Chains A and B, each alone.
Chain A
Amino acid sequence: MSGNFDRVLSRDTLRRRASLLLRLHIDGLLLLLLLILAAGSLFILYSASGKNWDLVIKQATSFGIGLGAMLVIAQFEPRFMARWVPLGYLGVVTLLVAVEVAGHTAMGATRWINIPGLIRFQPSEFMKIIMPMTIAWYLSTRSLPPSLKHTAISLALILIPFVLILKQPDLGTALLILASGAFVLFIGGLRWRWIVGAVAAVVPIAVGMWFFVLHNYQKQRVLTFLDPESDPLGTGWNIIQSKAAIGSGGVFGKGWLAGTQSHLDFLPESHTDFIIAVLAEEFGLVGVCLLLLVYLLLITRGLVITVQAQTLFGKLLAGALTMTFFVYVFVNIGMVSGLLPVVGVPLPFISYGGTSLVTLLSGFGVLMSIHTHRKWIAQV
């Protein structure tokens, strides 16, 4: 495996730098791509927030914290993670139950655990990392493809937090956690006919959920998604506005800070979930394609790490994290451009918001850990 490095890094200086990164358990390519996204994010955020420096500085700080978290997490060996993840899973599920019982309510949803004066956080964010880890831990010691029994147990492990988070209610996060667990099963070789069967079963389940689980606002979102123009003043407003913003950008965009839709306050949440609309309006199709390219490179790198991972746990976890990251991207851009229902999923690394940044970067820390500890293990 060290041949890889010999091929790429012929110069001594580069080798030394690379070895420094290696010693820090940082993957240089991932870091470079993340920094590009970070820089782009601050750029767009400055415009989307209406030249709000405070917001940009806050976001930059969040990036710093997230990179720190990534660096710390990258130091842990995947084996260490696998050892402690069952406890982590139980702990976060307990917290989710605690949220259900005594959580802090804000904006009509109970998502936070609030210890006054100390900390306020969303346990569901932890689950975004813990969930794929748990399923990967569970499946890595079993034979693949997973048997019906192991699949059922995995699904049970997925569904417990899924339902708890869905009840908060936080459809976006619940779906992401469901996806992150399901991707482990997928990477682990879940039989195709089961997958097809599950997709087929989704229809009656969806109908059931429509009547029994979904909140009115969620139903409304789905309905609005089907025909946004039917309710242009209510829930369809977001999509119509974001489509107008994106569409009016054209090929090259209106230019940085020159977007009219976002700056005239047409676009709701223009600096959080709908920030891609600002980017699309100001930088056009070119800007969007460049962003998609960076995402694609990140995902490809993640999948390469998956393939190169030495342990099954590492493979399953890296693959699931990477695919979940893609789900973030796809769901967000899909919803803003009117392809998918509006669910509260931020655009990874671009949307404003410290929590999601730290969680995402932690995920990349895990990826780096998997990749960089691999050689360490090999050498030992």
Chain B
Amino acid sequence: MPQPIQLKDHEKDAILVRRRVLVGLVLVLLLIGVLAARMYYLQVVQFEYHSTLSENNRVHVQPIPPNRGLIFDRQGRVIADNRPSFSLTVTRERAGDWKRVLDSVVEVLGLSEEDRVLFEKRVLQGRRPFEPVPILYELSEEQIARVAVNQFRLPGVEVAAQLVRHYPQGAHFAHSVGYVGRINEQELKQLDPVNYSGTHHIGKTGIEKFYEDVLHGQVGYEEVETNARGRVLRVLKRTDPVPGKDITLSLDLDLQEAAEQALGGRRGAIVALLPNSGEVVAMVSQPSFNPNLFVTGISFKDYGELRDSIDRPLYNRVLRGLYPPGSTIKPMMAVAGLDAGVITPTSRVFDPGFFQLPNVQHKYRNWNRSGDGWVNLDLAIARSNDTYFYDMAHKLGIDRMHDYMTRFGLGQRVSLDMFEETAGLMPSREWKRARYRQSWYPGETVILGIGQGYMQATPLQLAQATALVATRGKWIRPHLARSIAGEPPRDPNPLPDIELRDPRYWDYAAHGMEQVLHGPRGTARKVGDASAYRIAGKSGTAQVVAIRQGEKYDSAKLAERHRDHALFVAFAPVHDPQIAVAVMVENGESGSGVAAPVAKMVMDAWLLDEDGKLKAEFAPPLTADGEKP
């Protein structure tokens, strides 16, 4: 191409480009104007709409509560499980005027003003913002329908399905397994807020309380998007919860029922444990109550009835009931006396019907006012002779007595996994000085020899002390959990076995206990005579009302509730102890007459087969010359 034309072209190109750039600039201005207009539209015209939208839009992290571990009896029967239940929840932040919404709920479901008060309390217990708080559990079909129909009047109110604890065995295990209940303010302060963020219930007593950590599990999370009404639109992320571990108890439903029947409707307590393993197979505190009442929140009326009942059904007599052990402590005292060398198996004491300290007028009376004459150890236990043990206690002294009795578990918590066990009391000089600012009197030692005075023990402690005689001093803390997710429970603080100078001392004490039921002068020989196997036991009475010096105990004069509690401890079979039992019958008066038959029935239920014979596994080995007891 010729040069001049190109130069001209160059000029033309510049004009062309400039024109196009101008068009471009106009386009840019126009489109930027469009963007600005769009922004104006969104931010000014639609501002109200979008700000409410942004207010109501939430992504929430919803906790997924773990399923609580199940509880089984030793044969795998369910004691505590979780049942789906519909509950009514209120989310305060979404309800607007939530108090008015509660009014509507009460009106829609036709509930009372008391319920309204309860609802308000429960709503206020909500912990996290936007947390749906259950206010009413176990909704019926009709109630669900009513809520659905009136949904428009009930903003923030929803029917939620959740798993709720259920105790199919009802009252049988109320005192041992306990129950769960709604988390209260105090518990809220102590528990891990993250792990319990989705949990509404927590173990309140018993196994449920003691193994709360194990049973609860680990919380899971769900990140959800919710709309303005709080309805979950979609799940963004999910971390599954780790369910709680199942617990198999050593308790046996059959034996539990048998023990309750044996008590025959009377108030009292029974503990049956396996001395060789420490497993508690029956734990009865009568009267009992239905633990299911507490799960979803017990009504004021129901709770008032339970709390104010003269029979005290909420009172755990096995773990918290404190009784002077009375004569049931005599076998352990005998072991102490033998080991300390203050008595021998053959040493004798003359009983004129009372014991007197040197140079003191006061008479410590034997229960048999006429006296038993010359008494050795065997007879002293079999006859439950008080004078012998007054004498022995005096010789032993409080310090050694305190030492030995402590080794038997008195005055301390003995169980491995029982909630709220009471330590009881084994007095000592130091204790008395601290408690009463007084020195110890010799007379106080004397009455301790027959389990009276300051000494106080729970039925569980008595059962364990008896089991120690059965196992010849081998300490295994009594426990309710047999396995936790397959693992046996571990004792972090085991107690030392009781070592005696001569292990035969155990046999002397056990033989005395055998004589109680099988000896010719035994106090409970009527019970022993009817037994298919040899039982070692000891009766006792726990005074309810103090008897003044010189006054005679006359049951007829006393009101029923002021009569003595009947106690009986036993283990069987003597040759190879399989079960140890402690029975306390409230106001039962006679240990050997009332409590001993109960103990035997419990042991029968455990040891005998349907034909009334010892079960094969418990039967004594056959020797060459035939059967031998």
Q: A residues 276-293 with Cβ under 8 Å of B?
A: 280-281, 284-285, 288-289, 292
Residues of A within 8 A of B9 (CB): 143-144
**Which A residues touch B14, using CB under 8 A?**
315
CB-based contact A337/B42 at 8 Å: yes
Please encode chain A, from 132 to 143, with 1 for each CB lying within 8 Å of some chain B CB and 0 for all others.
000000000001
Interface residues of A (CB under 8 A from B): 143-145, 183, 186-189, 232-233, 241, 243-251, 260-261, 264-266, 280-281, 284-285, 288-289, 292, 295-296, 299-300, 303, 306-307, 312, 315-316, 319, 322-323, 326, 329-330, 333-334, 337-339
Given contacts A241-B57, A247-B43, A248-B50, 20 further A-B contacts (CB under 8 A): A144-B9, A186-B24, A187-B17, A187-B20, A246-B43, A247-B49, A247-B50, A248-B55, A251-B43, A260-B54, A261-B57, A264-B57, A280-B42, A285-B40, A285-B43, A285-B44, A315-B13, A326-B28, A329-B32, A330-B32
- In the complex, chain B residues whose CB is within 8 Å of the CB of A284: 43
Q: Are A334 and B35 in contact (CB under 8 A)?
A: yes
Q: 27 A–B contact pairs at CB < 8 A? A: A143-B9, A183-B24, A189-B19, A189-B20, A232-B233, A243-B50, A246-B39, A246-B50, A247-B43, A247-B49, A247-B54, A248-B50, A250-B44, A251-B47, A266-B54, A266-B59, A284-B43, A295-B32, A303-B25, A303-B28, A307-B17, A307-B21, A312-B17, A326-B31, A333-B35, A339-B34, A339-B38
B38 touches A337 (CB 8 A): yes
CB–CB A265/B59 < 8 A = yes
Q: Which residues of A contact B28 (CB under 8 A)?
A: 296, 299, 303, 323, 326
**Contact present for A261 and B54 (CB under 8 Å):** yes
A117 to B42, CA, bound (A): 47
| B44 surroundings in chain A (CB, below 8 A) | 250-251, 285
User: Using Cβ atoms and an 8 Å threshold, which residues of chain B touch A319?
Assistant: 17, 20-21, 24
- With A303-B24, A303-B25: A243-B17 Cβ-Cβ less than 8 Å: no
Provide the bound-state CA to CA distance between A61 and B393, in Å. Answer: 90
B57 touches A289 (CB 8 A): no
Is B558 part of the contact surface with A, judged by Cβ < 8 Å? no
B39→A288 contact, CB < 8 A = yes
Q: Within the assembled complex, what's the spacing in Å between the Cα atoms of A307 and B12?
A: 13
Q: CA separation between A246 and B35, bound complex, in Å?
A: 12
Quote the shortest CB–CB distance from A58 to chain B (angstroms).
26
- Determine the distance from Cα of A246 to Cα of B84 in the docked complex, in whole angstroms: 44
Whether B59 pairs with A312 at a CB distance below 8 angstroms is no
Given A296-B32, A307-B21, do A248 and B53 touch, yes or no (CB 8 Å)?
A: yes
Residue in chain B with minimal CB distance to A183? B24
> Contacts A300-B25, A307-B18, A337-B39 hold; do A312 and B47 have CB atoms under 8 A apart?
no
Verify B59–A292 contact, CB threshold 8 A: no
Minimum CB distance partner of A247 in chain B: B50
Bound: A311/B21 CA distance, A: 15
> Contact partner of A296 among B19, B29, B39, CB < 8 A?
B29
- Residues of chain A within 8 A of B99, CB atoms compared: none
Which residue on A lies nearest to B48, using beta carbons?
Answer: A247
Q: Write the chain B residue with the least CB distance to A300.
A: B25
Question: By the criterion CB–CB under 8 Å, are B233 and A250 in contact?
Answer: no
- In the bound complex, how far is the Cα of B567 from the Cα of A172, in angstroms? 89
Q: Which chain A residue shows the least CB distance to B15?
A: A189
In the complex, which residue of chain B has the Cβ closest to the Cβ of A246?
A: B42
CA distance A124 to B408 in the complex (A): 86
Counting from the closest, the 10 A-B pairs by CB-CB distance are A247-B50, A248-B54, A189-B16, A248-B51, A247-B42, A244-B53, A285-B43, A248-B50, A315-B17, A244-B54
Residues in A whose Cβ lies below 8 Å from that of B16? 144-145, 188-189
Asked whether any CB of chain A lies closer than 8 Å to the CB of B36, the reply is: yes
A339 CA to B37 CA, complexed, in Å: 11
Interface string of B476-497 (1 = CB under 8 A from A): 0000000000000000000000
Q: Are B12 and A144 neighbours in the complex by a CB distance under 8 Å? A: yes
Q: Is B10 an interface residue (CB 8 A)?
A: yes
Give a binary string over B202-227; 1 marks a CB under 8 Å from any A CB, 0 the rest.
00000000000000000000000100
Q: Bound complex: CA of A323 vs CA of B28, how far in Å?
A: 8
A245 to B50 alpha-carbon distance, docked (Å): 7
Contacts of B35 in A (CB 8 A): 292, 330, 333-334, 337, 339
A306 in contact with B21 given A145-B16, A266-B59 (CB within 8 Å): yes
A188-B57 Cα distance, complex, nearest whole Å: 50
- Docked complex Cα distance between A312 and B31 (Å): 27
Q: Is B58 an interface residue (CB 8 A)?
A: yes
Decide if B53 touches A288 in the complex (CB within 8 Å): no
The yes or no answer to B299 lying at the interface (CB within 8 A) is no
Contacts of A245 in B (CB 8 A): 54
A285: chain B residues at CB < 8 Å are 39-40, 43-44
Contact A292 B51, beta carbon cutoff 8 Å: no
Whether A264 touches B59, Cβ cut-off 8 Å, given contacts A187-B21, A247-B42, is yes
A192's closest neighbor in chain B, by CB?
B23
Contacts of B47 in A (CB 8 A): 247-248, 250-251
Interface residues of B in 333-383 (CB under 8 A from A): none
Whether a CB of chain A sits under 8 angstroms from the CB of B46 is yes
Bound together, the chains give a CA A119 to CA B46 distance in angstroms of: 47
Q: Which residue on B lies nearest to A296, using beta carbons? A: B32
